[in-house]
Amino acid sequence: MKIISPREFVDVVVTKQYEDGTMLSAATHAEHTLCPPQANFVRGFNHPCGCFCIPIPGESNKTQVLTFFQTDLGGYLPQTVVESFFPANIVEFYSNLKKALKTLKS
């Protein structure tokens, strides 16, 4: 029914792996002439955000994760929609992160 418009985000992302095995992925909103806003999307805005994946010494199958997010979905969304959307989205993020870390360790 298209009650909620699709969102798009344009971010610049940097990733880094440190000598101790810690991995960092950090991002922030960016504007670029090659990425103009699309007519059928609401442009969202990510404030500086990131994720640290820190290996736990002596426990190769465990990783400490520190994340920080602050996202503005843009447009008008009732708070109830935002509150119902984010928990599932965060769970999906951590599921995808777990898969990516396993791939990187292989």
Residue type, 17: Q
Predicted TM-score (pTM) of the model is: 0.76
At 24, is the secondary structure helix, strand, or coil?
strand
Given a cut of 70, the residues of the chain with pLDDT beneath it are: 1-3, 105-106
Chain centre distance of CA 51: 8
Residue 24, pLDDT score? 94
Residue 1, pLDDT score? 44
- As a whole number of Å, the end-to-end CA separation of the chain is 43
DSSP string over 38-67: PTTSEEPEEPSEEEEEEEETTEEEEEEEEE
> Which of 7, 9, 10, 1 lies closest to 76, judged by CA?
7
